[in-house]
Amino acid sequence: MHSESGARPTHDPIQASLTPADDRVLLSHWLPPQSGVVPRIRFGQRWVNVLWALPIAFVLLVIGVAVAQALRTLPGVQAFLVRYPGVPASAPTVMSGFPAWLRLTHFLNLFFMAFIIRAGIQILADHPRLYWHRDCTPGTDWFRFQKPVPPGRVWTAKDDSVTIPDWLGIPGIRHSIGLARWWHFSVNMLWTLNGIAIYVLLFSTDQWHRLVPTTWEVIPNAASTALQYLSLTFPDDHSWTRYNSLQQLTYFLTVFVAAPTSIVTGFLQSPSLSNHLGWVGRVLNRQRARSIHFLAMWWFLLFILAHVTLVFITGARANLNMMWAGANDASWSGFAVFVPAMALVALAWWRASPFTIRHARLVQKTGEFMVGWLKGLAEWWDPKSQLTEKDISPYFWLNGTMPKSAEFDALVAGEFAGYRLRVGGLVARPQDFSLADLRAMPQQEQITTHFCIQGWSGVAKWGGVPMRHLLDLVQPTADARYAVFYSLADGGDGGRYYDVHRMVNMRHALTMLAIDMNGAPVSVLHGAPVRLRCENELGFKMVKWVAAIEFVRDFKDLGAGHGGYNEDHEFYGYRMPI
Ligand SMILES: Nc1nc2c(c(=O)[nH]1)N[C@H]1C(S)=C(S)[C@@H](COP(=O)(O)O)O[C@H]1N2
Ligand SMILES: [Mo]
């Protein structure tokens, strides 16, 4: 059985195998670049290149213009246009023009969105596939910009990640999701605050009349406006006091539907929220949420394209004067603000990627400061969502760096008979456990979804020892604030893989040392003989091939001091329930 050794040094010997890490991205230490393919969409069995959308859209536009012009010669259509000129007769007018707060929040909105979208595309490039089902089984993706998964070989999610250009993504290097997420989440925080300010100000002034339809007449009027634009005889413009119905509807959908949808589907990709929300997390599973999140981005992109095009072809000077200078005149005042504002966007756009690569640690720390508290809050939720046998994924992606050591090979050769899990540090009763010891303990089974930071998910049934039982055995002292999990395997950039959890995670009902996966012993690739399951966190925090657990007061002196291997080397956060 187990041996108790009061004489063990305070620190686990593996601590000596942890390595420091650079504070900037050194490309020589990074995954080598790998290009993807032009995005494709699957229709049934066929994968269609999205570039087809360009000629198709062009042809449809030309046909649309021709048809719209033909329609306008029909008396019935002409009568319709007279009856519904583009603005309902009852539509209220806005008396306050374009006040400074509106102009400022409009600018901030576009500034923030640029970086949110860029960082979002970078995040997507870490698992360049989208699915509707939570499984992520190869071949079931509906969108990808990566080749099909190569069959018959070990192909990890990291192998699957692709490089996108640094002017597009932030920071534009392969597998930089840790840094891209700090951008995405931090700027999202600012964008959301800006959005709240917009909502409040819209409704505390008369400006909401611009955006919120108050009569069903907007529908025929929007159709009328669409017909007028499409026939290239543009409707009268009264933007100073009110928008036409097509504008109103699209702005309404953008501000009051697309934006909240993006926020909600963003949060639903989080393990702690999804696992906590029961049926909501099951129906709007992570892949569905991710796909909708992506389509919402397309709504924004197409909106921006149409919006900017119309601003410039329906009287650029007058339009810019309104939104950039608050002036309803024929001056150049709008240009005088618009041009420097765009220069600012361009400058920030140009510097974002190089800055992030050079000051990666600063980006990580800033991100922690901006959104760390929110992620910390989500960590307190004890995940409870459980799925059923029929939900188990036929395919469960692999990830991580496999153990390559004589020590591990010997353990495998001996079918882990020689394995000992060391549990020590700030505990009253440090102990070693063999696999047989662990199997003799009370066991727990759970069917849960795994959320990899890169974007894929998978469902499996896990069996093993609840962490709470282990806590009872070793009795962490009052000083123990964190549990460190050391792996038998190194990380991708050398040095031992490890990760740190707060004690609250250790007490969650579904946190366990898994020995079985889907009714059989966990395979070597998935983390044999023992891996951690902590269902409110992202996958990278669930250390595979666990060698030792050490309870500590602080993690600053471990590795590079950021709370885990990926935290040190890839600038992730150490609290990652979102
Ligand atoms: N020791 C070790 N554990 C690890 C990793 C690793 O690289 N080394 N990768 C992590 C990541 S990023 C994920 S998503 C999961 C993947 O587990 P799976 O291969 O069973 O899917 O393991 C985690 N545990
Ligand atoms: Mo992961």
As a whole number, the mean pLDDT across the chain is 96
Q: If you take atom 18 of ligand 1, which residue's CA is the nearest one?
A: 398
CA distance 317 to 337: 12
Q: Is the model's pLDDT at 77 over the cut of 70?
A: yes
Ligand 2 centroid to residue 335 C-alpha, Å: 47
Average pLDDT over residues 23-49: 97
Q: What is the DSSP string of 387-409?
A: --GGG--S---B-SPPP-SHHHH
- Domain extent listing, the chain: 13-24+384-569
CA distance 177 to 375: 17
Give the pLDDT score at 105: 98
Of residues 155, 117, 44, 31, the one with CA closest to residue 456: 155
Domain 13-24+384-569: CATH superfamily is Oxidoreductase, molybdopterin-binding domain (3.90.420.10)
pLDDT digits (tens, 9 = 90+) for 312-336: 999 999 999 999 999 999 999 999 9
- Cβ atoms of residues 460 and 396 within 8 Å: yes
Q: If you take atom 7 of ligand 1, which residue's CA is the nearest one?
A: 400
Give the pLDDT score at 59: 98
Average pLDDT over residues 206-218: 97
- Cβ atoms of residues 459 and 450 within 8 Å: yes
Average pLDDT over residues 63-70: 98
| Ligand 1 cavity residues, CB under 6 Å | 396-401, 452, 487, 489, 497, 526-527, 539-540, 542-545
Give the pLDDT score at 386: 82
Task: Ligand 1 pocket test: pick from 136, 542, 546, 565 the residue with the most ligand atoms within 8 Å of its Cβ.
Answer: 542
Average pLDDT over residues 176-196: 98
Give the pLDDT score at 467: 98
Q: If you take atom 5 of ligand 1, which residue's CA is the nearest one?
A: 400
Ligand 2 centroid to residue 540 C-alpha, Å: 4
Q: If you take atom 23 of ligand 1, which residue's CA is the nearest one?
A: 540
DSSP state of 405: S
Average pLDDT over residues 125-145: 97
CA distance 206 to 231: 32
Q: Is the model's pLDDT at 8 over the cut of 50?
A: no
Ligand 1 centroid to residue 448 C-alpha, Å: 16
Give the pLDDT score at 175: 98
Percent of residues, the chain, with pLDDT higher than 70: 98
pLDDT digits (tens, 9 = 90+) for 89-105: 999 999 999 999 999 99
**Geometric angle at alpha carbon 450, from 447 and 456, rounded to 5°:** 135
pLDDT digits (tens, 9 = 90+) for 409-460: 999 999 999 999 999 999 999 999 999 999 999 999 999 999 999 999 999 9
Three-class secondary structure of residue 341 per DSSP: helix
Give the pLDDT score at 2: 46
Task: Ligand 1 pocket test: pick from 156, 399, 459, 546 the residue with the most ligand atoms within 8 Å of its Cβ.
Answer: 399
Q: Within the chain, how many helices (H) and strands (E) appear?
A: 20, 14
pLDDT digits (tens, 9 = 90+) for 483-508: 999 999 999 999 999 999 999 999 99
CA distance 323 to 325: 6
Task: Ligand 1 pocket test: pick from 14, 488, 544 the residue with the most ligand atoms within 8 Å of its Cβ.
Answer: 544
Give the pLDDT score at 384: 82
Q: Which atom of ligand 1 is nearest to the CA of 544?
A: 3
Ligand 2 centroid to residue 399 C-alpha, Å: 6
Residue 3 confidence class, pLDDT cut points 50, 70, 90: very low
| Helix (H) or strand (E) segment spanning residue 483 | strand 482-490
Which residue type, as a one-letter code, is found at position 531?
R
Ligand 1 centroid to residue 398 C-alpha, Å: 7
CA distance 530 to 187: 38
Q: If you take atom 20 of ligand 1, which residue's CA is the nearest one?
A: 526
Give the pLDDT score at 4: 46
Give the pLDDT score at 5: 46
Distances (CA, A) of 93 to 18, 192, 220, 240: 66, 28, 19, 9
Q: Exposure of 410 by Cβ count < 10 A (0-12 exposed, 13-18 middle, 19+ buried)? A: exposed
pTM of the shown model: 0.96
Average pLDDT over residues 503-524: 97
- Cβ atoms of residues 268 and 289 within 8 Å: yes
Ligand 2 centroid to residue 405 C-alpha, Å: 22
Q: Is the model's pLDDT at 371 over the cut of 90?
A: yes
**Geometric angle at alpha carbon 184, from 178 and 185, rounded to 5°:** 90
pLDDT digits (tens, 9 = 90+) for 463-472: 999 999 999 9
Q: Is the model's pLDDT at 385 over the cut of 80?
A: no
